[in-house]
Amino acid sequence: MAGNIAEGSCPGRGGRWEDDAMPAACCKPEGSTGPNTKMECQKIINFGNQLLRRKNVDCTREDSRLSRCLNTFDLVALGVGSTLGAGVYVLAGAVAREDAGPAIVISFLIAALASVLAGLCYGEFGARVPKTGSAYLYSYVTVGELWAFITGWNLILSYVIGTSSVARAWSATFDEIIGQHIEDFCKKYMTMDAPGVLAKYPDIFAVVIIIILTGLLIFGVKESALVNKVFTCINILVLGFVMVSGFVKGSVKNWQLTEEDIYVTNHSIYRENQTQEEMLYGVGGFMPYGWKGVLSGAATCFYAFVGFDCIATTGEEVKNPQKAIPIGIVASLLICFVAYFGVSAALTLMMPYYQLDTNSPLPNAFKYVGWDGANYAVAVGSLCALSTSLLGSMFPMPRIIYAMAEDGLLFKFLAKVNEKRKTPVIATVTSGAVAAVMAFLFDLKDLVDLMSIGTLLAYSLVAACVLVLRYQPEQPNLAYQMARTTEETDNNESVSTSESQAGFLPEEEEKCSLKAILCPPNSDPSKFSGSVVNVSTFIIGFLIVGSCILTALEPSILIKAVWIIAAILVLVVSFIIWKQPESKTKLSFKVPLLPLLPVVSIFVNVYLMMQLDLGTWIRFAVWMLIGFIIYFTYGIWHSVEATYAASADAERNTDAGSDSCK
């Protein structure tokens, strides 16, 4: 039999073939899979690779199609203007009265700390990948194309809804100041009778505001930044006046109210049949609703710090992005915290928390202390705050669209840049037009929660990406890992060269064992340690998402046990990540306390996402369905990374063919 095989016979089939003529399938063992099955498996693998292909970004190149004209102060003003919107004039009153009382200052502190976690992660990526794209780009270089598209697609939705809703709020605020003449006119002559679908009347004034700001953004980023700085400075001055007024006219007694002060002295809010547990305004003192109220208020206040991520979209328009972006993000969050903390403290010092007006607390508070004239300053400040918030929503939207279009995931014409002004003109006009139509026709109250999903998803992915990328081995071909400040590059040129050369040396294959996982033999990251971190991050994400879903569906004693088990497992897996060697890539900014801070950030963001109602998730699913249709019919086939991969494959095939012919 062995001799027959050597001569070209087919064992068990009785025939003989010449060696050159023998079919490849002839000598396969019976019952083995055929070539069709292998081809199908290979197609599935290739398709999976397409979805997870990562973007290579050359951060050593300074050239950009956009204008590099922004400095650190511009970024701080952009972040503060975008984050410190009209919410500072309204939110403090509602949270203090219904959730936290005077302890709202602690709620803002907790919310600020949670926001800083996400801000630090954005700061590290701003230093690592100083290009346009924000969380979309950060996901693309770390976890792959599909996740990047999901992130970018949801950021677009967040910015569109944010722009439209803020424009309507600007229009309503201005109309209220002049006596609601615009609303009365539109209701009389332009009523739209479609409750639940369209707004009560078309908001023409909101459309005009969006058109003006769209023109400003097309005109130039430097001019837009200048306007933003002017409005932001006015807003900060007004808030400073509010804080000083509160501390001058306020009284610490309003932080030391007793139950008798609230329920007996003020008979209007006392109920004869009301038990102590049912008391509407808590038990008085600094923390009338207890820690539960403080944490509930913190969850609401967290959204007040959303907006700083617009800084991360300016990577190609900043003069020194590796330093300016991290400083801009952290500084803007710090300024916003001081403003929220000061205004909420002043408000609760000026008048008792249970008497605050939830819709217009500041005018009500100034009236209470006899300073009615201060309401004009509050009106000016609120309009300036809305203007900067609107600009902060409109500024990043065309840049996300531009980045996705330039990568081929959205239609290529959206990536066109005005050669004179160096702005993404088509993306700006398109995004402005969509936002204007939505502001004109729709009542956006039911859609505002969709903003939260997009933003929180982006925060979670950026935190996970920082966790993954910090523990990956050096890859000299991926230039985004070589992003350093100019000074560090000059000083360490010889070191980085030797390090990059070491990256090309073949590694000894590590065997998977408990010792190799808990006590890695190398001080530098390896493929094995990088894989351990990838798997560990996936496990942490799965545990956090699963626990939050169970809590949202069934908050019972059993769930508490699940939480304890999940928390222990997360700590164990985090310890495993902590034992892995970190990358020694030098960056101008790095997130401290890894892996703790990114894990806590992921938890906070996912928990808040799971608190959103079912209707919001259904709308999110519809939006994602539209996005997947675009991606799988256009984006996946026109991706720039797909073109690069196809060129590399063709080159490899050519080399293999030439080698076989030798």
Mean pLDDT of the region 51-66? 73
Q: pLDDT-based confidence at 34, cuts 50/70/90?
A: low
Q: Tell me, what's the pLDDT at 657?
A: 58
Q: Which residues contact 189 (CB under 8 A, 6 or more apart)?
A: none
Taking alpha carbons only, the member of 91, 135, 169 closest to residue 605 is 135
CA torsion 446-447-453-455 (nearest 10°) is: -130
Q: Which amino acid is at 558?
A: L
pLDDT in tens, 326-372: 999 999 999 999 999 999 999 999 989 888 888 788 888 888 888 88
> At 296, phi and psi to the nearest 5?
-65, -40
Q: pLDDT-based confidence at 216, cuts 50/70/90?
A: very high
pLDDT in tens, 513-563: 788 888 888 888 888 888 899 999 999 999 999 888 888 877 666 677 888
Flag whether pLDDT at 272 surpasses 80.
Answer: no
Flag whether pLDDT at 643 surpasses 90.
Answer: no
- Number of Cβ within 10 Å of residue 612's Cβ equals 16
Q: Percent of the chain having pLDDT more than 90?
A: 32
Q: How far apart are CA 423 and CA 402, in angstroms?
A: 10
Q: pLDDT-based confidence at 434, cuts 50/70/90?
A: very high
Q: Does residue 422 come out as left (phi exceeding 0), alpha (psi in the -120 to 50 range) or beta?
A: left
Q: What is the DSSP letter of 612?
A: S
Task: Specify the pTM.
Answer: 0.81
Q: Percent of the chain having pLDDT more than 70?
A: 82
Flag whether pLDDT at 78 surpasses 90.
Answer: yes
Q: Which residues contact 55 (CB under 8 A, 6 or more apart)?
A: 137, 140, 141, 145, 148, 407, 641
Q: Which range, of 244-258, 432-446, 490-504, 638-652, averages the lowest pLDDT?
A: 490-504
Flag whether pLDDT at 13 surpasses 70.
Answer: no
Pick 306 or 499 by higher pLDDT.
Answer: 306
Q: Which residues contact 632 (CB under 8 A, 6 or more apart)?
A: none
> At 558, phi and psi to the nearest 5?
-60, -40
Flag whether pLDDT at 600 surpasses 90.
Answer: yes
Pick 662 or 504 by higher pLDDT.
Answer: 662
Flag whether pLDDT at 250 surpasses 90.
Answer: no
Are the beta carbons of 105 and 296 closer than 8 angstroms? no
Q: How far apart are CA 53 and CA 149, in angstroms?
A: 12
Flag whether pLDDT at 603 surpasses 50.
Answer: yes
What is the token pair recorded at 565? 């088990």
- Largest Cα separation within the chain, whole Å, is 110
Pick 61 or 431 by higher pLDDT.
Answer: 431
Q: Tell me, what's the pLDDT at 25?
A: 42
What is the token pair recorded at 34? 């055929």
Are the beta carbons of 118 and 462 closer than 8 angstroms? yes
Q: How far apart are CA 343 and CA 41, in angstroms?
A: 61
Flag whether pLDDT at 206 surpasses 50.
Answer: yes
Distances (CA, A) of 166 to 384, 393, 540: 12, 9, 36
Q: pLDDT-based confidence at 50, cuts 50/70/90?
A: confident
Segment (H or E) for 561 = helix 557-579
Mean pLDDT, all residues of the chain: 81
pLDDT in tens, 167-193: 988 888 888 888 888 888 888 888 877
Q: How far apart are CA 253 and CA 255, in angstroms?
A: 5
pLDDT in tens, 102-160: 999 999 999 999 899 999 999 988 888 888 888 898 999 888 899 999 999 999 999 99
- In the numeric block, the tokens 């992921």 are attached to 602
Q: Tell me, what's the pLDDT at 656?
A: 56
> At 9, phi and psi to the nearest 5?
-80, 160
Q: What is the DSSP letter of 27?
A: T
Q: Tell me, what's the pLDDT at 103?
A: 92
Q: Tell me, what's the pLDDT at 306?
A: 87
